[in-house]
Amino acid sequence: MGGASLSPNIDSNNFPFLSYRIALNSDNADFGGHSRVDNATRFHTSDDGFAGRRCRLQVYIPCRTALVLEKEE
């Protein structure tokens, strides 16, 4: 799963109830970024879905940054 943002928040619905980790972070200093997102951060879906959806995932993504998340086993 990937996300890029021109605004700082993404609130997506209907993700499986799982844990996700960062696979690629364009804000990392290795890519010329400002390292505002810790690569060790884990993102967990919550089960307070709505509109017929089971789960949701809320992620902070700084402006002009792309994150690619992968499911944890």
Residue 1 — very low, low, confident or very high, per pLDDT cuts 50/70/90?
low
Domain boundaries, the chain: 2-71
pLDDT given for residue 59 in this prediction: 86
> Which pTM value belongs to this model?
0.71
Question: Within 13 Å of residue 22, how many CA atoms lie on the same side as its CB?
Answer: 19
Distance between CA atoms of residues 11 and 66, nearest Å: 15
HEC readout, 19-71:
EEEEEEECCCHHHCCCCCCCCCCEEECECCCCCCCCCEEEEECCCCEEEEEEE
User: Which residue type occupies 28?
Assistant: N
Select 2-71's CATH number: 1.20.58.220, 2.60.40.1180, 2.20.25.240, 3.40.50.1100. 2.60.40.1180
pLDDT 10s digits, 12-44:
555 566 899 999 999 999 999 999 999 999 998
